[in-house]
Chains A and B, each alone.
Chain A
Amino acid sequence: MTTPVLRARGLVKRYGRVTALAGADLELLPGEILAVIGDNGAGKSSLIKALSGAVVPDEGEILVDGRPVSFSSPLDAREAGIETVHQSLAVAPSLDIAANLFLGRERRRKGVLGSVFRMLDRNGMREEARRQLDALGIMTIQNPGQAVETLSGGQRQAVAVARAAAFGSRVVIMDEPTAALGVRESRAVLDLVLQVRDRGLPVILISHNMPHVFEVADRIHIQRLGRRKAVVDPKTISMSDAVAIMTGAMEPPS
């Protein structure tokens, strides 16, 4: 059996009296798109936050390539090769595309200009940004020197996805990437998700949109009441059955 790239075992997270995660498990296999679905309050967000380092779980363990890790901040998860595209996108609107791609990990110029004067390698970062956007087939858009706030919702999403794809070495997590988008833009972002997977990066996709989930996912993780209720194959289960399991109207097939 292949070792999961990312594995969570028995995660528990409590907020006061509310238990968001009640012993949640998750397994992400190499090269797959794992969709995570669940009703509101099922613990999707908490699960994803724990995996991306945004919250620290009270109990349980997270393993990357079979080795236990502990994330105390988003930086730790990033260093482990896990990149997250947050629902809020986490971009700085007034900065340009290249600056956002490298936000928090800027590159400096070589030599004295970089070491003494701390000068940024603007051109290098712009070129790299262009390469990354090109690789995902989205640099038909604009130049990387354009401010992100002048982009449409789908374009911003593309920038956030490109950032994750550029720096994620092990896992890319995407939280509701199509939630705020129209049909055409959703389509393009789903293509991006598939492209990220085709480059060999496994993807965790959180979504409420069942048609999207069934279209791109290799496996579907159904979260219910803070636990993993089932993992189903979208090719063998119907959309309505998946929703029935998600809402507790049906027990998963064994």
Chain B
Amino acid sequence: MSTTLSTSHSPGGGPLGGDDARRSPLTRLQHLLHAQATIGPAVVLLVSVVVFALLSERFLTPGNISLILQQVAVVGTLAVGQTIVILTAGIDLSCGAIMVLTSIVMAKVAADTGLPGLPALLLGFLVGTLCGLLNGLLVTRLKLPPFIVTLGTLNVFFALNLWYSASATIRGTDMPSLLLWTGQTVNVGGTRITYGSIMMVLLVAAMAFALKNTAWGRHVYATGDDAEASRLSGIRTARVLLSVYATAGAVYALAAWVLIGRIASASPQAGQLDNLDSITAVVIGGTSLFGGRGAIVGSLIGALIVGVFRNGLALAGVDVLWQTLAVGVLIIVAVSLDQWIRKVKP
């Protein structure tokens, strides 16, 4: 019996050998996108920039680029937190609410008590992290679906925000200047770039590094990919999830700081739809809603694509409603592409 079944393990052959000679161009594209999910969004961004530059000469002016970057900074920062949550096969609907609550805490504490900028900022980070931690505890301890948990906390945090702020906006003039610093600009080659935009880029770089080069990053991917397999492999998945939600909370606090600088005030009504916008950026950026696949840089590109589309279409004189429609189509295309990429065969 053993002789009839036995096969050799000669190089290149054998039952455990693979060959990729017989692939069609389409399959090869699928494999390329599978290995590098960011390529798709990067090409879309590049093409849309070229197209909009041809449609309007104002598109590539320093002033307009600066505007796009400012518009993208808040959602782009939120998207960093959203990405790590989605990588674990979760979703965070409460990110906008955490951001707004945190911005109100930072601004109101400073305005009411005269607390200096730095402690007010740190207090905000503490609140954001605790909000994220609460999400994480509900997901890991009560084992509730992240969608439900964050749908609930979205309302809880938003109500707390309305209560604490008494639904009143805190003006920038009542705050320490540090809280408004993210709205200050620095001149980079003729383009005025806000510190908030720069912080977003640095945050993306730092998170990309952590995801790619640390064990924590690998555990985030593995947990989202297959939680049970990760547990059997010795990964403490509950701890990974807690760290992800708490980190996301801290990132939303950073987004709150960027938001205050952007609108030069703290408004309890700001950023109402930013949770959905951040999910849009993540999805268009090639991160899979099913977890375990994607990259943080993709989310930045995704946020930029949305920003470029809205801005470019506006410059081309297209009505806001068609801008929104275009973004909707982008989302569906991005998710369809993801489904296709996931069907990659050996």
Using CB atoms and an 8 Å cutoff, list the residues of chain A in contact with chain B: 54, 74-75, 78, 84, 86, 88-95, 99, 103-106, 108, 117-120, 122, 137-138, 140-142, 147, 149-152, 154-155, 158, 182-185, 187-188, 191, 211, 215
A92 touches B222 (CB 8 A): yes
User: Can you name 21 A-B pairs with beta carbons within 8 Å?
Assistant: A84-B232, A86-B229, A90-B228, A92-B225, A92-B230, A93-B225, A93-B226, A93-B292, A95-B218, A99-B218, A117-B209, A118-B213, A137-B9, A141-B16, A147-B35, A149-B346, A150-B346, A152-B18, A185-B16, A187-B5, A211-B1
A120 contacts which chain B residues (CB < 8 A)? 213-215, 218
B229 contacts which chain A residues (CB < 8 A)? 86, 88-92
B9 touches A138 (CB 8 A): yes
Complex Cα gap A154–B35 (Å): 21
B11 touches A95 (CB 8 A): no
B216 contacts which chain A residues (CB < 8 A)? 118
B222 contacts which chain A residues (CB < 8 A)? 92, 95, 99, 103
Complex Cα gap A151–B345 (Å): 8
B14 touches A188 (CB 8 A): yes
- 8 Å CB contact of A90 from B219, B233, B344, B345: B233
B113 contacts the other chain (Cβ, under 8 Å)? no
A147 contacts which chain B residues (CB < 8 A)? 34-35
A149 contacts which chain B residues (CB < 8 A)? 344, 346
A-B complex: 9 closest residue pairs judged by Cβ atoms: A104-B234, A184-B15, A90-B232, A106-B215, A92-B222, A90-B229, A92-B225, A104-B233, A103-B233
User: How many whole Å from A51's CB to the nearest CB in chain B?
Assistant: 14
Beyond A118-B216, A151-B346, A187-B5, whether A141 also contacts B17 by CB under 8 A is yes
Closest residue to B9 on the A side, CB-wise? A137
User: How many whole Å from A221's CB to the nearest CB in chain B?
Assistant: 22
Beyond A95-B225, A188-B15, whether A54 also contacts B215 by CB under 8 A is no
User: How many whole Å from B128's CB to the nearest CB in chain A?
Assistant: 23
Contacts beyond the supplied A103-B218, A155-B346, A188-B7: 16 A-B pairs with Cβ under 8 Å:
A78-B234, A84-B232, A86-B229, A88-B229, A92-B292, A99-B222, A103-B230, A103-B233, A104-B233, A104-B234, A105-B234, A122-B213, A141-B18, A151-B18, A182-B15, A191-B9
User: Chain B 130-157 against A: per-residue CB contact (8 Å), 1 yes, 0 no?
Assistant: 0000000000000000000000000000
A182 contacts which chain B residues (CB < 8 A)? 15
- 8 Å CB contact of A88 from B221, B228, B234: B228
User: How many whole Å from B165's CB to the nearest CB in chain A?
Assistant: 38
A86 contacts which chain B residues (CB < 8 A)? 229, 232
Closest residue to A151 on the B side, CB-wise? B346
User: How many whole Å from A230's CB to the nearest CB in chain B?
Assistant: 24
User: Chain B 219-243 against A: per-residue CB contact (8 Å), 1 yes, 0 no?
Assistant: 1011001101111111100000000
B16 contacts which chain A residues (CB < 8 A)? 138, 140-141, 152, 154-155, 158, 185, 188
B219 contacts which chain A residues (CB < 8 A)? 104
B13 contacts the other chain (Cβ, under 8 Å)? yes
Q: Which of B5, B10, B233 is the most central at the interface, judged by chain A CB atoms within 10 Å of its CB?
A: B233
Interface residues on B, range: 35 or more
Q: Which parts of B299-346 form the interface with A (CB within 8 Å)?
A: 344-346
Complex Cα gap A37–B214 (Å): 41
B231 contacts which chain A residues (CB < 8 A)? 74
A88 contacts which chain B residues (CB < 8 A)? 228-229, 232
Beyond A103-B218, A151-B18, whether A140 also contacts B228 by CB under 8 A is no
User: How many whole Å from B231's CB to the nearest CB in chain A?
Assistant: 7
A215 touches B1 (CB 8 A): yes
B214 touches A119 (CB 8 A): yes
Q: Which of B218, B221, B292 is the most central at the interface, judged by chain A CB atoms within 10 Å of its CB?
A: B218
User: How many whole Å from A116's CB to the nearest CB in chain B?
Assistant: 11
A183 contacts which chain B residues (CB < 8 A)? 5
User: How many whole Å from B34's CB to the nearest CB in chain A?
Assistant: 7
B9 touches A106 (CB 8 A): no
Q: Which parts of B15-40 form the interface with A (CB within 8 Å)?
A: 15-18, 31, 34-35
B293 contacts the other chain (Cβ, under 8 Å)? yes
A150 touches B17 (CB 8 A): no
B2 touches A140 (CB 8 A): no
Complex Cα gap A118–B18 (Å): 34
Complex Cα gap A104–B226 (Å): 13
Closest residue to A79 on the B side, CB-wise? B234
User: How many whole Å from A28's CB to the nearest CB in chain B?
Assistant: 21
B293 touches A94 (CB 8 A): yes
Q: Which parts of B227-261 form the interface with A (CB within 8 Å)?
A: 228-235
B225 touches A94 (CB 8 A): yes
User: How many whole Å from A80's CB to the nearest CB in chain B?
Assistant: 13
User: How many whole Å from B209's CB to the nearest CB in chain A?
Assistant: 8
A150 touches B344 (CB 8 A): yes
Complex Cα gap A152–B233 (Å): 20
Complex Cα gap A141–B6 (Å): 18
Beyond A103-B230, A151-B18, whether A94 also contacts B221 by CB under 8 A is yes
User: How many whole Å from A185's CB to the nearest CB in chain B?
Assistant: 5
Closest residue to B225 on the A side, CB-wise? A92
A90 contacts which chain B residues (CB < 8 A)? 226, 228-230, 232-233
